[in-house]
Structure 1
Amino acid sequence: MALTGVSRLGKTVLWAGANDQRIAAVIASCSGEGGAALSRRNYGETIAHLASPKRYEYQFAANYGEWAANPDAAPVDAHQLIALMAPRPLLLQTGTEDKWSDPKGEFLAAKAATPVYKLLGESGIEAEHLPKAGRLIGGALGYYMHDGGHGMTTDDWGVYLEFLKRHL
């Protein structure tokens, strides 16, 4: 079984994959804060935004907001969630103009999770810098950024299928 989801559901499929070994692969699209983006960057969508009253606090544990003012104090970050998928295939997908989901923060989190993939015999993100749009990089832990904004595009589906064919 492979799962995909966009935005809030991108967060959901990451969490599901981390918790259920029966999930063979995950494609998380524009998952941002609370998903694949590093909270400690405090960029775009933030803990303060997600945990604020009248927003999305119902989606998270009540204590999540404790780190809203100081994300550096949080005991975990996105790279650890990503690492829980290892060694199973995980593709992080975003858009160049999706500042809300923090494409760079998702890339940096994938780089930080790569050592766990390597430890378990798979490959991850070797690039030193954020790739140009339209270029799928990595191995079992992959990263892809389309030219555009938040969400999936029709062209992304071809990349998803290519990624899944390589790894399943």
Structure 2
Amino acid sequence: MLDQRNLPDMLLTLDGERIETADRWLQRRRPEILDLFREHVYGRETVGRPSTLEFDTKVTPNMLGGIAVRKQVDIRYEGAGGTGKIRLLMFLPDNGQEPCPAFLLLNNRGAAHMDPEQQAPSPFWPAEQIVARGYAAVVLDVEDADPDFHDGFRNGVHGIFDPSTGERPANAWGTIAAWAWSASRAMDYLETDPDIDAARVAVVGHSRGGKAALWAGAVDERFALVVSNNSGCTGAALSRGKKGETIRNINDQFPHWFNGTYKTYNDREEHLPVDQHMLLSLIAPRPLYVASATNDEWADPRSEFQSLVHATAAYRLFGCKDLTEMNFPHPEEPLLRERMGYHLRSGEHDLKPYDWDRFMDFADQNI
């Protein structure tokens, strides 16, 4: 059921126009909301696709017991501040059929979860499970683009592409935006790979990676499906009325994740011109899936669910079925509506094989 939290009206433009059609949403309100998030939360990128982008690919057949082909791709780029590299690891079904759809995971837990030999497979990124369902399993380490610590934005892509002199603007992009940028560079490669159906690529993230996946799906409409797992504060969860982690908590602990302007909303959530249901709305009309866990009070599953319910207003403009009459579900009882899905998993803050199976169930029907 719809939970009223005095949220900004996502169908009302800044100059007072009430949005009532999909065309007006795409022409007026969606670009306006995207700009508000850039200005007040995630920041403005200084670079899109670098002109120097290059791909170096190594292919290994007969992986995962003979069911997969492995590709290891170095995505290279350079700017005034130096050079950078994002390492992409892929396992593709080796069945000689048409180009396959793919799941791209923005891995925020390091190299242990993306072993190229798969000698100790990780349930966080179960490559064989994904390949067995007919999808390419693709992963990158978000810290290749920007290490997850605050050094004044001198490292990673900020150091490569941001101006080297002058005061950093309050609306300059932070680390979450840099990680989303890395997802787009992966998509640049996937569009060139003849074994991948680039029109059927899902971007997935857990926790801080989920925040990045949502922002990647918002700014880059090439992603056919966007999946948020336990993304919480400044991810899928509403900021207004949220339990657990707050804007102040996240800005104090991770000052590099978002732009400087966002810090002015510490303890002032009600003054934000946006809330996270509006971030989810930017995915419309593409498929969107949000997942939570019962013991993840810091992320606040009910606020994640309510954010998705409120985002329905944008999907409704495209004729999608309503979520507003749905109740918060019991664990392991997924809610699926046209182009929108949600589940609550029993257990802790994590990404598990159960979650992956639900994501793929949804993808089977939607991409």
Query: TM-score under structure 1 normalisation?
Result: 0.94
Supply the distance in 2 between the matched residues of 1:149 and 1:122 (Cα, whole angstroms): 32
Q: Which amino acid aligns with 2:291?
A: Q
Q: Which amino acid aligns with 1:16?
A: A
Q: Please tell me whether the aligned partners of residues 96 and 149 of structure 1 are also in contact (alpha carbons under 8 angstroms).
A: yes
Supply the distance in 2 between the matched residues of 1:133 and 1:101 (Cα, whole angstroms): 16
Tell me which of 3, 6, 13 is aligned to 2:213: 13
Q: Please tell me whether the aligned partners of residues 124 and 142 of structure 1 are also in contact (alpha carbons under 8 angstroms).
A: no
The yes-or-no answer on 1:163 pairing with 2:365 is: no
The yes-or-no answer on 1:63 pairing with 2:261 is: yes
State the match for 1:103 in structure 2: 301
Q: Which amino acid aligns with 2:288?
A: L
Tell me which of 27, 38, 44 is aligned to 2:227: 27
**CA apart distance, 1:124:** 5.0
Q: Secondary structure at the match of 1:91?
A: strand
Q: Please tell me whether the aligned partners of residues 15 and 81 of structure 1 are also in contact (alpha carbons under 8 angstroms).
A: yes
State the match for 1:146 in structure 2: 345
Supply the distance in 2 between the matched residues of 1:123 and 1:162 (Cα, whole angstroms): 18
In structure 1, runs of 5+ residues without a counterpart are none
> Which stretch has the larger CA shift, 136-145 or 9-18?
136-145
Supply the distance in 2 between the matched residues of 1:148 and 1:19 (Cα, whole angstroms): 31
**CA apart distance, 1:127:** 4.2
Q: Please tell me whether the aligned partners of residues 3 and 26 of structure 1 are also in contact (alpha carbons under 8 angstroms).
A: yes
The yes-or-no answer on 1:137 pairing with 2:345 is: no
State the match for 2:277 in structure 1: 79
Supply the distance in 2 between the matched residues of 1:133 and 1:82 (Cα, whole angstroms): 22
> Which stretch has the larger CA shift, 76-85 or 43-52?
43-52
State the match for 1:121 in structure 2: 319
Q: Please tell me whether the aligned partners of residues 134 and 144 of structure 1 are also in contact (alpha carbons under 8 angstroms).
A: yes
Supply the distance in 1 between the matched residues of 2:325 and 2:356 (Cα, whole angstroms): 23
**Structure with more strand by fraction:** 2
Q: Which runs of 4+ in 1 moved over 3 A?
A: none
In structure 2, runs of 5+ residues without a counterpart are 1-200
Supply the distance in 1 between the matched residues of 2:264 and 2:239 (Cα, whole angstroms): 13
Q: Which amino acid aligns with 2:234?
A: G
State the match for 1:48 in structure 2: 248
Query: TM-score under structure 2 normalisation?
Result: 0.44
Q: How many residues align?
A: 166
Q: Which amino acid aligns with 2:229?
A: S
Greater RCO between the two (CA within 8 Å, min separation 6)? 1
Q: Please tell me whether the aligned partners of residues 123 and 138 of structure 1 are also in contact (alpha carbons under 8 angstroms).
A: no
C-alpha distance after superposition, 1:14-47 (max 9, x if no partner): 0000111101001110010111100001321110
The yes-or-no answer on 1:2 pairing with 2:202 is: yes
Supply the distance in 2 between the matched residues of 1:154 and 1:113 (Cα, whole angstroms): 27
Q: Please tell me whether the aligned partners of residues 2 and 24 of structure 1 are also in contact (alpha carbons under 8 angstroms).
A: yes
Q: Secondary structure at the match of 1:108?
A: helix
State the match for 1:38 in structure 2: 238
Query: Looking at CA atoms only, which structure, 1 or 2, has the larger radius of gyration?
Result: 2
**CA apart distance, 1:145:** 0.9
C-alpha distance after superposition, 1:32-89 (max 9, x if no partner): 011110000132111001111xx21101000111111121111100000000000101
Supply the distance in 2 between the matched residues of 1:13 and 1:101 (Cα, whole angstroms): 16
Q: Please tell me whether the aligned partners of residues 125 and 142 of structure 1 are also in contact (alpha carbons under 8 angstroms).
A: no
